[in-house]
Amino acid sequence: MVNLYAMSQINNKECDSKMQFMLLFSRQGKLRLQKWYVAHPDKLKKKITRELITTILARKPKMSSFLEWKDVKVVYKRYASLYFCCAIEQNDNELLTLEIIHRYVELLDKYFGSVCELDIIFNFEKAYFILDELLVGGEIQETSKKNVLKAIAAQDLLQENRQLYYNNMVTFNS
């Protein structure tokens, strides 16, 4: 198991790494999830997304998962039919970012039971919630998969209880 905290250390100093954004897209180039940690106008976000998807899909499978793109480093990994793509600052650790992507995929797999593109499409709010439990403001928030899964289970229970409450209120008022 990789220690994310240890990987974030450089010369015994905290690495002030911040992810710019994360994109999930299909092999066909369809955007499935996007999370931006740096503010950009919508028009620029669309342009960045379109250019990056085109660039990554054009790369051969044996090529490196890291590339210099404009003023950021792009780290991406393909899992089944989905690409997970992150942009980081030039001085950030690519391997740490790759590990964060892998950790996110592991959490999605645990939650959905072998996550697939349809899980992201039909349960996008859960995919965002899991990502928000893992990362806050583009920085790693929680390294423990167990703690993230507990938070997700608690949120699911809260939603179920709320739905039961509303269903009972509708039945009672009818």
Cβ–Cβ under 8 Å, residues 26 and 81: yes
Residue 31 zone, left/alpha/beta (φ > 0; ψ -120 to 50; rest): beta
Domain ranges within the chain, ordered by starting residue: 17-173
Apex CA 90: angle with CA 100 and CA 36, to 5°? 55
Which pLDDT score is estimated for 162?
79
Of 94, 91, 62, the residue nearest 78 (C-alpha): 62
Q: Tokens for 125?
A: 């709010």
Q: Could you tell me the pTM of the whole model?
A: 0.83
Which pLDDT score is estimated for 17?
63
Total residue length of the chain: 174
**What is the CATH topology of the domain spanning 17-173?**
Beta-Lactamase (3.30.450)
Rounded to an integer, what distance in angstroms lies between the CA atom of residue 94 and that of residue 87? 10
Which pLDDT score is estimated for 163?
76
Q: What is the pLDDT along the chain (174 residues), one digit of tens a residue?
A: 555 544 444 433 444 568 999 999 999 999 999 999 999 999 999 999 999 999 999 999 999 999 999 999 999 999 999 999 999 999 999 999 999 999 999 999 999 999 999 999 999 999 999 999 999 999 999 989 999 999 999 999 998 887 777 777 666 666
Residue 138 zone, left/alpha/beta (φ > 0; ψ -120 to 50; rest): left
